[in-house]
């Protein structure tokens, strides 16, 4: 019997982080496998990408449900049906209620394109540029009721360069996201990262810093 954690990915659109996770889980020895991809929008491009990769992918259109809770009940049913251990939100643009968040507490991850707690919410790259920060990045964290908040699992730092636009900075951060999310999922699925007193403890640390700087210093 496989001991790999069974993972669902929730998407709303393009699904490039989903694709990075799918590719990572193909490596022998990776401690997780993707068993289902669920989009809350039937037109999410990532659904076709997942199906082409041989992964079950379904749409649960939130607009077809009268309440958030009704949508989440259906979502939960599909997750249970696929015997899911962990959820990875990857560009999933739907706020979740406390009931759902608590059901999946410490088993639901999210990626956000900033160094949280800086710049939660939308339009992160424009806000980073406008603020004058010289380093931004991305974060993977456990989901809590508050949007883009929760125990941080791993972060990657990315420089803001002179002349950056939200698009150029976003593209640089996205490359880091594709490295970071598989790394963070590996830490959680293998049991090397877990929540203690609302912080993530990495075990064993063994001199290796779980945080990344990407692209590596010296390559720019």
Interface pick for ligand GRF out of 9, 16, 101, 169 (rule CB under 6 A) = 16
Distances (CA, A) of 17 to 48, 73, 132, 148, 179: 14, 25, 27, 16, 9
Contact letters (x/-) for ligand GRF, 108-147, by CB under 6 A?
Answer: ---xxx----------------------------------
Pick the catalytic residue from 112, 125, 141, 178: 112
- Tell me how far apart the alpha carbons of residues 216 and 153 are, in angstroms, rounded to a whole number: 19
Q: What is the CA radius of gyration of the chain?
A: 17
- Distant-in-sequence contacts of 67-70, Cβ < 8 A, 24+ apart: 68/95, 68/96, 68/97, 69/97, 69/99
Residue 141 annotated among the catalytic residues of the structure:
no
x-marked contacts with ligand GRF along 32-71 as a string, rule CB under 6 A: ----------------------------------------
Residue nearest to ligand GRF (CB): 91
Q: Which residues are catalytic?
A: 112
Q: Which residues bind ligand GRF (CB under 6 A)?
A: 11, 13-18, 90-91, 111-113, 174, 177
């Amino acid at each position: 019997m496989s001991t790999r954690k069974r993972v669902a990915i929730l998407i709303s659109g393009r699904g490039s982080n989903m694709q990075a996770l799918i590719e990572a889980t193909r490596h022998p020895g990776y401690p997780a496998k993707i068993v289902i991809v669920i989009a809350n929008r039937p037109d999410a491009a990532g659904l076709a990408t997942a199906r082409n990769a041989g992964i079950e992918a379904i749409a649960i259109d939130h607009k077809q449900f009268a309440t958030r809770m009704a949508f989440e009940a259906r979502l939960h049913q599909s997750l249970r049906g696929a015997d899911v251990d962990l959820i990875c939100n990857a560009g999933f643009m739907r706020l979740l209620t406390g009931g759902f968040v608590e059901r999946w507490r410490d088993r639901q991850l999210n990626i956000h394109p900033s160094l949280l707690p800086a710049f939660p919410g939308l339009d992160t790259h424009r806000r980073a540029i406008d603020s004058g920060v010289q380093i931004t990045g991305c974060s993977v964290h456990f989901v809590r009721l508050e949007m883009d908040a929760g125990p941080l699992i791993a972060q990657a730092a990315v420089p803001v360069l002179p002349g950056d636009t939200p698009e150029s900075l976003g593209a640089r951060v996205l490359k880091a996201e594709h490295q970071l999310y598989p790394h963070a999922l590996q830490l959680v699925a293998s049991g090397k990262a877990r929540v203690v007193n609302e912080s993530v403890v990495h075990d064993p640390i063994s001199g290796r810093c779980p945080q990344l700087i990407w692209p590596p210093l010296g390559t720019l």
